[in-house]
Structure 1
Amino acid sequence: MHLVCIIGPPAVGKMTVGRAVCDLTGYRLFHNHMSIEPLLGVFDFDSPSFRRINRLVRREVIAEAVASDLLGLVFTVAIDFDRPSETARMRELVAPVERAGQPIDVVELDAPQRIRLAREGSPDRVDHKRSKRDVEWARAHVVEMETHARFTSDPARDGDLLAGHRHLRLDNSHGEASVTAERIVAELGLPRRA
């Protein structure tokens, strides 16, 4: 099972690009809000219970994907590079894939904040992310989060997120998911759906 981790700041297009990669390859998509949204009905975002169960769900889905007959899994997540605990959790999530000797690639998307804020409220985003339906709140939340978090890596300072695995950095300012997905598939040599 090939794991492709798409990382980047909020509203950079991780889910949309991930879906386009899956369309090209036949891989399955596990975007970060698939574990977030069900928990928000019970726990406050970022509360200890929310964080613990969110990590558990993500860890178990990835571990089961390794044990299954999936060709590949695209997992999306935003990581604060100023919090070593978040990069450590990422390494914990991919550990079952590493133990199985299966390939892991990291794709890091970036786009300026003004472009990402304009994406808040797009039909695709609000259809799959119930918590983003209040567009003004969602935009304010992005701005607020980015005052104390760094969601884009600095290669000189941070190196690669997962040492020993490919780390592809792409500008996703153009907003054409199919173009970005084609580039990911080509540059990583991913198999194309028959």
Structure 2
Amino acid sequence: MKLVILFGPPAVGKMTVGQELEKITELKLFHNHMSLELVNQFFDFGTPPFERLDRIIRFAFFEEIAKSDLDGLIFTYVWDLNQQEDTDYIEEVAQLFMNQGASIFYVELKADLSERLQRNRDGHRLACKPSKRNVAASEASLLHFEANYRMNTLENEFGQKQILTIDNTTMEPLEVARLIKQWLNQQSRE
């Protein structure tokens, strides 16, 4: 079992790359908005009921998947690397899978802000993420995250953890997914 934590800033392409990776591997995708969009139909983002339900849904899936005979999971996340709470959350997810014998892989995506602002308006993104359809609000949120959060790693920040960093500013999602698959296969052989 593999857990691939695919992270990076908003509109970097996590979901789309995850979808392509799912197509060329036996891994299943749980992109961040799968639970966010469901819960947001009932409660406003960030409210206590929203946070509780999102966590319950995600961890119910994670626990069942970790115990299953599936090959693994791709989980996408916007991770504020300066927020201990975010790091603790990711470590809790990783530990849940490690407790079942899974290997954990971190894949970080980076892209120029101008490219991410363009991707924020992409039809596929808007179709899959109803909460992003108010493009002006989504863009304001993206710029807020950019100004206030550190969503990409510093050199050697992850120490011994298995991490692949890809600048996908000018890359197609399938090309990125193929690089990730190649890296995962190489890591599994070592």
| Root mean square deviation of aligned Cα | 1.6
Match of residue 184 from structure 2: 188
The one-letter code sitting in structure 2 at the alignment partner of 1:119 is R
Match of residue 135 from structure 1: 135
- Separation (CA, whole Å) in 1 of partners of 2:8 and 2:160: 19
- Separation (CA, whole Å) in 2 of partners of 1:86 and 1:165: 17
- Residue from 170, 177, 183 that aligns with 1:174: 170
> Structure 2 regions of 5+ residues with no counterpart?
none
SS at match of 2:29: strand
- Following superposition of structure 1 onto structure 2, how do residues 7-18 of structure 1 map, counting pairs within 5 Å? 7-18=7-18
Percent identity among equivalent residues?
A: 36
- The range that moved more, 135-144 or 44-53, is 44-53
With the length of structure 1 as denominator, give the TM-score of the two structures.
Answer: 0.90
CA deviation string 1:39-61 (max 9, x = no partner): 11222211222222222222221
Aligned residue pairs, count: 187
SS at match of 1:117: helix
Match of residue 78 from structure 2: 78
Shift of 1:145: 2.3
The one-letter code sitting in structure 2 at the alignment partner of 1:169 is T
> Structure 1 regions of 5+ residues with no counterpart?
none
Q: Which runs of 4+ in 1 moved over 6 A?
A: none
Structure 1 contact 18–181 (Cα < 8 Å) conserved: yes
- Separation (CA, whole Å) in 1 of partners of 2:53 and 2:82: 22
SS at match of 1:146: helix
Shift of 1:115: 0.6
The one-letter code sitting in structure 1 at the alignment partner of 2:164 is L
- Separation (CA, whole Å) in 1 of partners of 2:50 and 2:141: 18
Shift of 1:164: 4.7
SS at match of 1:75: strand
Structure 1 contact 58–93 (Cα < 8 Å) conserved: no
